[in-house]
A = this chain, B = another copy of it.
Amino acid sequence: MKKVILLFIFSLSVQLNAQSSAHEEQIKTLYHKALTSGKAYDWLDHLSNKIGGRLSGSLNAERAVTWGKTELETLGLDRVYLQKVMVPKWVRGTFEYASIITGPGMSMNVPVCALGGSIATPSSGLRAGVVEVKSFEELEALGEEKIKGNFVFFNRPMPAELINTFEAYSKTVNQRTQGAARAARFGAVGVIVRSMNLRLDDFPHTGSMRYGDLPNTMRIPAAAISTNGAQLLSSMLALNDDLKFYLKLDCKNFPDVPSHNVIGEIKGSEFPDEIIVVGGHLDSWDLGDGSHDDGAGIVQSMEVLRLFKEMNYKPKRTIRVVLYMNEENGLRGGTAYAQYAKRNKEKHIFALESDAGGFSPRGFVFEATNSQFKQIDSWKPYFRPYMADRFELGGSGADIGPLRDNKVVLSGLRPDSQRYFNFHHAANDTFDAINKRELELGAAAMSSLVYLVDQYGF
């Protein structure tokens, strides 16, 4: 009996080793192909340089939809289709302009941009004093007496000591998202927000802001100022707190317009009803060409399916790529996708998102149960040779968030975060900021993870 058990254990271990080395081979091939004959970089070149910035509701966003569908159709997938979604339409307008005025004939231009969703200033612009604050607590302590009739200047920098720059972002971004709504209640005429950027430079960084339930009549314009501009304004205020700030924005909100998620899929051979989704967001802000945010995630996600087709890999489960529309200022695509999935009673077992820049991948985060994570964690050795073996529990991604149901495993690619906020939502988020190998390594890591999920399910 003992012999039989030993024999059984031995044959099981041989099987497991054979399986494991087959996986190693598949992953090696995925990396090899991604790095030597990948298509992600050429795709991104087109999306960034031939299409460019593609804010929801813009002509460019529609060009990106057409491009995504056309490219996916060349891959020989089992199905490529569009999913209609209504999206907000906000337009930056023809110009935006600001200056610090310290006396008659003494003014200095500073780089600003409207925050997404902001209303315009009057066409002659706004001229008012400036009250600098670092927090909402400080704002409230100053109250209407000090705030009324002035600009509020939110100048809390991203904390440099945090290693994960997304954490630093999360500690400061409420100035941008809620600053205007908060300051308006104290009678501010507008808000100027320090750009979410860890570096001192001249690029203002846009991003979404919301007025919430603030009545239309109380809404005030909101602009981001570059970090160098913020430093300058702050030091000028220290010398002369009576200075004036001039701001002109002619951005505008329009009614919602139709747009689309772009979807492609390879039907599963064994479990076609178990769906694995990989995606990024197709829309971007309008200042740069959205190469890191999130052109990178788009082309990496498309590359996962392309690599499977090139390798002639027949997945057991259905593998679907989704190019979500409108992550930046509405999340309408991600929300609609989850609604369609629910309505059609689709069973999603895994959703992976890449929306943290096209930098060297260091691993993944997962929203998973303990037993699911234990399984995932056992795959770590496959990723170690590729230096993408940092697996952690944590928030995955915005677009796949609406799928969350305590059963589906959600995951986000986690590239090195140090450079991301140099480019995020700014005019320098352009194709030249992308390193081909880093982009390709992300696509290979994602493909490898999707491959393993397809092999084992949850």
Residues of A whose CB lies within 8 Å of any CB of B are 31-32, 35-36, 160-161, 163, 165, 198-199, 360, 362, 385-387, 390, 416, 418-419, 422, 435-438, 441
B419 to A416, Cβ gap below 8 A? no
Complex Cα spacing A436 to B422, Å: 11
A387 to B386, Cβ gap below 8 A? no
Residues from chain B with Cβ under 8 Å of A422 in the complex: 435
A160 to B437, Cβ gap below 8 A? yes
- Smallest CB-CB separation from A165: which chain B residue? B437
- Smallest CB-CB separation from A34: which chain B residue? B161
Residues from chain B with Cβ under 8 Å of A362 in the complex: 362, 387
A385 to B163, Cβ gap below 8 A? yes
Q: A360-B360, A387-B362, A418-B360 are in contact. Are A198 and B161 (CB under 8 A)?
A: no
B36 to A160, Cβ gap below 8 A? yes
Residues from chain B with Cβ under 8 Å of A435 in the complex: 418-419, 422
- Smallest CB-CB separation from A390: which chain B residue? B387
B36 to A437, Cβ gap below 8 A? no
Q: A198-B437, A436-B199, A437-B198 are in contact. Are A161 and B418 (CB under 8 A)?
A: no
A161 to B438, Cβ gap below 8 A? no
Residues from chain B with Cβ under 8 Å of A437 in the complex: 160, 165, 198, 418-419
Within the complex, which residue of B32, B165, B441 is in contact with A418, where a contact is CB–CB below 8 Å?
A: B441
8 nearest interchain CB pairs? A32-B161, A418-B437, A35-B160, A360-B416, A35-B161, A418-B438, A36-B160, A360-B418
A31 to B163, Cβ gap below 8 A? yes
Residues from chain B with Cβ under 8 Å of A198 in the complex: 437
Q: Report A166 CB to chain B, min CB distance, Å.
A: 13
Q: Report A37 CB to chain B, min CB distance, Å.
A: 9
Q: Report A385 CB to chain B, min CB distance, Å.
A: 7
Complex Cα spacing A387 to B441, Å: 18
Complex Cα spacing A385 to B418, Å: 14
Residues from chain B with Cβ under 8 Å of A160 in the complex: 35-36, 437
Among the interface residues A362, A390, A416, A441, which one has the most CB atoms of the partner chain B within 10 A?
A: A416
- Smallest CB-CB separation from A199: which chain B residue? B436
Q: A387-B362, A418-B360, A418-B435 are in contact. Are A163 and B441 (CB under 8 A)?
A: yes
A386 to B441, Cβ gap below 8 A? no
B161 to A36, Cβ gap below 8 A? yes
Residues from chain B with Cβ under 8 Å of A360 in the complex: 360, 416, 418
4 extra A-B contacts, CB within 8 A, seeds A31-B161, A36-B160 = A360-B418, A387-B390, A418-B438, A418-B441
